[in-house]
Amino acid sequence: MLTLYRIENSTNVERVALALAHKGLRAESVRVPADDRTAVRAVSGQDLVPVLVHDGRVVIDSMEIVRYLEDRFPATAPLYPRDPARRADCLLFIDWFNRVWKRPPNEITAELQKPEAGRDARRVERLGRAMQAYLDLFEDMLTGREHLQGEFSAADVAAFPFVKYATIHDPQDTEPFHQVLARYQRPGTDHPRVVDWIARVDARPRA
């Protein structure tokens, strides 16, 4: 049995929700309040979601969970290329996304939480430009293919919940990190493939 601990509107939970649905796996959801992680801490010893419990085994970290699902359920729709070279490209992309791409929005969010007098506006501007430039990179990655690695894969699972804010942002969603994702990713007429990719992946089911 699979159980997913989640909070509403979580980027990292959406990764797992996309992966579960792609693989046709059902999971019981435990929805916890964003401001009370007691249940998450009790089951996993830490506060962050997503947490997956599979027959008593606890897995934390969204992309570790996605890999775990692939390893444990290899017969269902794959999320990583079978070809070793392409699989390595996919793993590298995910590592880059987590370690490099995520830094500017995280750092802008932290900067904007400082009192106004102590903020480094130039740094925010520079980091914002980096986020916008990554849209150009995604546009190029999508040349001649519908997903970041051709077929829908863990690369799309990793990036979509964050990059989607370029076109999808509920004005009622005032979560600071989400506002940064929306504010500093502005697709223009030179990003048609990114815009189509967001719509394509957004049409997919979630668990």
**One of 21, 25, 39, 48 touching ligand GSH (CB under 6 A):** 48
SS3 151: strand
Instruction: Please report how close the Cβ of residue 46 comes to ligand GSH at its closest, in angstroms.
Output: 9
The answer to the question of residue 185 lying near ligand GSH (CB under 6 A) is no
CA dihedral defined by 200, 181, 162, 88, rounded to 10 degrees?
110
**Candidates 10-18, 82-90, 136-144, 145-153; binding stretch for ligand GSH (CB under 6 A):** 10-18
Signed CA dihedral, 171, 173, 174, 180: sign only: negative
Phi, psi at 40, each rounded to 5°: -65, -45
Q: How many residues bind ligand GSH (CB under 6 A)?
A: 10
Residues in region 53-92 near ligand GSH by CB under 6 A: 61-63
**Candidates 6-14, 138-146, 164-172, 193-201; binding stretch for ligand GSH (CB under 6 A):** 6-14
Q: Which is nearer to ligand GSH, 61 or 107 (CB)?
A: 61
Q: Which is nearer to ligand GSH, 47 or 140 (CB)?
A: 47
Q: Side-chain half-sphere of 89: how many Cα atoms within 13 Å? A: 12
Q: Tell me 150's DSSP state.
A: B
Q: Which of 198, 87, 68, 51 is nearest to 139 (CA)?
A: 198
Interface residues toward ligand GSH, by CB under 6 A: 10-12, 47-50, 61-63
